[in-house]
A and B are shown apart, each in its own frame.
Chain A
Amino acid sequence: MRKTVSRLLLLSMLGTLPCGAVARQTRSAATTETLIRNATVLTITRGTLPNTDVLIRKGKIVAIGRNIKVDESARVIDATGKYLMPGIIDCHSHSMLDTINEGTLAVTSMVRTRDVLNPTDADLYRELAGGVTTLNLLHGSANPIGGLNTVVKIKYGRPASEFLFPNAMPGIKFALGENVKRSNNPNIQGATRRYPNTRMGVAEVIRDAFTRARDYRRGWDEYSAALKRGEKNLIPPRRDLELEPLVEVLEGKRYVHAHSYRADEIVMLINLANEFGFKIKTFQHVLEGYKVAGEIAQHGAGGSTFADSWGYKIEAYDAIPYNSAIMARAGVVTSVNSDSDERARRLNLEAAKAMRYGDLSEAEALKLITINPAIQLGIQDRVGSIEVGKDADLAIWNAHPFSVYARVDTTFIDGVIYFDREKDLAGRADLARERTRLEQAEPNRPAAGGRPPQAPRGRRPSHDDDDVEQGDQP
């Protein structure tokens, strides 16, 4: 059996995605009505509503109330004793990215995560099973200015193009500290170390890039003005794909999501952004955000952090699980993210930790994974709470999502079921049969003689951008 696994995996990726069938079956439901009946509804923005119905039509929430009447044709889901919450939004993910880091340059604003989306990543389904519906897919943290982000809805089973969150604000990854200094990457003998090597250099890389971006914009402004004056035979400036996104940042058209750990570098970037007149939308990780929460709030930046992940490297040694509570109380729009395909499956518990560590209220803690990350991504008009008119991105939980004993029953995106535990359980026997059939299929039978079979490849590793992949040093 071992011999056949690698081929089997390939086949299963092509043809037997566990939930592809679910998505196909239920897609038509988007055009009809779904009534989720008698749930405890965690609206996020309007409190918790007991024994409440939520009506979904054409992918939107169209009514919230008691005893909502529907036609016989409507799909009715009895959620008595269950909890309905908005789909969780993960403000820092690397799921479905075939690669994370373009680490050869200190500024890689020309590269786009959008170009490397893999919609068959099995972890997407596992995240849906944790009630997650929206991801902010970020470039890695190998460079002070990294690549462009992609905000997606986890429409697992659909083509990558359908994952793209419509009209989400574009963003870009910045990073500070050890990763961009390449502190934890081995020196390669004879190779020149990439600039920057210090936090001083990190600031200068960003300052230099925005200085160039400002000049670049000026060049276009001058060209446009000349054009307007009717001047002839003008040569337009050469398009610069590195600087264009930075001009968008300067013009407030692109959000900056800045990976950061230490208080000093957080303050550095705030000052630098103020110098150039742009805003940091979120500090990511922001482990020492609690030390400078006032400064972050004053700048108007958000903070997207974790409860855990401390002490694994020097710049994380002062991380505390109270971080989100302190930042939230200081007025920072705060979220809790995963930065890990594993942790993404239990963000509900990560948010609940703000109640254990720092006594955040339940209402505030719920916001950490719903409306707050929505605000941080500029999609708060569409998702992040249960309100009439918003997208029907929802999850039904069998207990309060902050309970460690809670489990997701059903996850909807745009009113379509993308995860359903009952269907998942019911489909397992079929999958087992299919696996057996594939193992016995002609192409998977070991050939007599010839070269020895290959070892099974492990699963694609889950990515964690703090740990820059080995071997990508120029």
Chain B
Amino acid sequence: MKKTELKTRSNVAPAKRVGWALAAISLAAITAFSQQIGNPAAQQGVQPARGTYAIRNARIVTLAGPDIDNGTVVIREGKIDAVGSNVSIPAGAQIIEGRGLTVYPGMMDAGTSLGLVEVGQGANGTVDTSETGELNPNAKAIIAVNQHSAHVAVTRVDGITHTVTLPQGGLISGQAAIINLLGTTPMEMALVPYAALVISYPRLGGRRGDFGPEPPGLDVTAALAANERQLEQVRKLLRDAEAYGRAQDAYAKDNSLPRPDRNIVLESLVPYVRGDRPVIIRADREAELRGAIKFAEEMKLQPILLGGDDAWKIAAWLKEKNVPVILTGVLSLPLREDDAYDTLYENAAKLQQAGVRFCISTGNGGAEVRSLPFHAGMAAAFGLPKDEALKSVTIYPAQIMNIADRLGSIEKGKIANLVVTDGDLLEVRTHVRYLFIDGRRVPLTSRHTDLYDAFKDRK
């Protein structure tokens, strides 16, 4: 955690490093405290205890080397304690017989709004995705994530153990969090509470849902100008935040200077304008993608593109710029009527062939995040090698979100987010047999299994 939070560039002021170290320490304290809570319980959102487990005689897909055909994974104190074909099982460990089963790293969806909305239509009180107004950098997803949402358990029982959850709407939507899909409080869920700033790159004609009417004869010249004005709003705020950061630093060093007023909006932007933390920029069409990268360069941001429907068109350029893409549209209909039928199915394969850093996401608000493996599987049906498809929902999102030192593969010392299945993780017909998050064995129950059990035998 410390490493991630302190991932810095050379231009970071030492004072700020201390601040982040403090934040990291306080978060660690919260996590430590939470360990004492854990009563094993099937109830959604209550953490089962951490334990010592040994999954033995299983095939292990580590993604950190060759697969182990018959091996053991030991889980202790929330971490992967050992993995290999010749591992001694600690005394007192609970044994899980893994014959015929496969152990995978838990999957990660880096483009969701999971936990921010329960029922999108007809229950506005459950919708916390989008704040009012265009510029909300201080709106933080981790504040509003509902750890007791039915979506949490429904998603994890399908093998997705952690997600990025993003605010939506406006130009600057807010800050995304990386969360474990387990926890009794937001901070228990938080892997990285303030993981990235989320910007929606302006779209020609605006962003509308699928059902919105087309604007009649939109004037392109006017629309381009409107987009430029929107971008200028963002640019101005980011520049103000830079200046704000400099002023505060100067005052911290020299209290004889006039005291600058605190401003929570600008303050929230400082780590992002300094390039300490990534900025997720939502962009799909070619012009938006190009614009987003240019904007990020101009403002010296650390960009991650979210969406990327047209990324295949500029793959070489993305590679050259080393800008990663969270692809959310594998299962979307192609953007244009004359696009090939498999344009978006094979988008990932084209990025992979060009050497672009990418991962696959459902881009979903919550309910359908559980289908993540099938998005990756479809990409594999259309040219992405199967092992790459697997990585695109495990280690690649972890790398893109700067948490690959803690998650994304089965290696000693990593957080024990593991899925044990009776088959290929990405196949529809496969069943999840065991689930571990944060070294806790999570019951395979959810709102859906509860309803199934309640009604399956009704005559």
- Residues of B close to A458: CB separation below 8 A: 214, 335
Is B133 close to A, CB under 8 A?
A: no
Query: Whose C-beta in chain A lies nearest to the C-beta of B451?
Result: A320
Is A276 close to B, CB under 8 A?
A: no
Is B438 close to A, CB under 8 A?
A: no
Query: Whose C-beta in chain B lies nearest to the C-beta of A315?
Result: B122
Is A228 close to B, CB under 8 A?
A: no
Is A250 close to B, CB under 8 A?
A: no
Q: Are B428 and A291 in contact, with the CB atoms below 8 A?
A: no
Q: Are B211 and A467 in contact, with the CB atoms below 8 A?
A: yes
One of B51-59, B370-378, B397-405 contacting the partner: B370-378
Q: Are B378 and A404 in contact, with the CB atoms below 8 A?
A: yes
Is B92 close to A, CB under 8 A?
A: no
- Residues of B close to A125: CB separation below 8 A: 341
Task: Kindly state the separation between the CA atoms of A282 and B212 in the bound complex, as whole angstroms.
Answer: 30
| Given A311-B367, A355-B428, A470-B211, residue A452 in contact with residue B219 (CB < 8 A) | yes
Min Cβ gap A325→B in Å is 8
Min Cβ gap A24→B in Å is 18
Q: Are B340 and A428 in contact, with the CB atoms below 8 A?
A: yes
Is A353 close to B, CB under 8 A?
A: yes
Query: Whose C-beta in chain B lies nearest to the C-beta of A425?
Result: B340
Q: Are B368 and A353 in contact, with the CB atoms below 8 A?
A: no
- CB under 8 Å from chain A, chain B span 182-217: 204-205, 210-215, 217
Chain B interface main SS type: loop
| Given A318-B451, A352-B428, residue A18 in contact with residue B338 (CB < 8 A) | yes
Q: Are B381 and A353 in contact, with the CB atoms below 8 A?
A: no
Task: Kindly state the separation between the CA atoms of A406 and B427 in the bound complex, as whole angstroms.
Answer: 10
Is B426 close to A, CB under 8 A?
A: yes
- Residues of A close to B333: CB separation below 8 A: 123, 126, 341-342, 459, 462
- Residues of B close to A227: CB separation below 8 A: none
- Residues of B close to A341: CB separation below 8 A: 333
Is A435 close to B, CB under 8 A?
A: yes
**Could you mark each residue 345-388 of chain A with 1 if its beta carbon is under 8 Å from any beta carbon of chain B, else 0?**
01001001101111000000000000000000000000000000
Task: Kindly state the separation between the CA atoms of A435 and B458 in the bound complex, as whole angstroms.
Answer: 59
Q: Are A424 and B220 in contact, with the CB atoms below 8 A?
A: no
Is A62 close to B, CB under 8 A?
A: no
- Residues of A close to B23: CB separation below 8 A: none
Q: Which of A357, A406, A471 has the most CB of B within 10 A?
A: A357
| Given A326-B455, A431-B338, residue A404 in contact with residue B121 (CB < 8 A) | no
| Given A129-B341, A404-B426, A452-B220, residue A317 in contact with residue B431 (CB < 8 A) | no
**Could you mark each residue 373-388 of chain B with 1 if its beta carbon is under 8 Å from any beta carbon of chain A, else 0?**
1100110111000100
Min Cβ gap B3→A in Å is 35
Is B332 close to A, CB under 8 A?
A: yes
- Residues of A close to B253: CB separation below 8 A: none
Q: Which of B204, B342, B382 has the most CB of A within 10 A?
A: B342
Min Cβ gap A392→B in Å is 22
Min Cβ gap A452→B in Å is 4
- Residues of A close to B338: CB separation below 8 A: 8-9, 12, 16, 18, 122, 431, 435
**Could you mark each residue 311-334 of chain B with 1 if its beta carbon is under 8 Å from any beta carbon of chain A, else 0?**
000000000000000000001111
Query: Whose C-beta in chain A lies nearest to the C-beta of B368?
Result: A308
Task: Kindly state the separation between the CA atoms of A428 and B215 in the bound complex, as whole angstroms.
Answer: 31
Is B135 close to A, CB under 8 A?
A: no
Query: Whose C-beta in chain B lies nearest to the C-beta of A290?
Result: B455
Task: Kindly state the separation between the CA atoms of A283 and B303 in the bound complex, as whole angstroms.
Answer: 48
Known: A12-B337, A402-B428. 11 other contacts (CB 8 A): A18-B340, A291-B455, A311-B118, A312-B121, A314-B123, A322-B448, A424-B340, A424-B341, A455-B223, A460-B337, A469-B211
19 A-B residue contacts at CB 8 Å?
A2-B220, A311-B119, A313-B119, A315-B122, A317-B150, A318-B451, A322-B448, A326-B455, A355-B428, A356-B429, A404-B378, A404-B427, A405-B386, A424-B340, A452-B219, A455-B220, A459-B334, A464-B210, A470-B211
Give chain A's interface residues, CB within 8 Å of chain B: 2-3, 5, 8-9, 12-13, 16, 18, 122-123, 125-126, 129, 178, 183-184, 290-291, 293-294, 308-315, 317-318, 320-322, 326, 341-342, 346, 349, 352-353, 355-358, 402-407, 424, 428, 431, 435, 452-462, 464, 467, 469-471
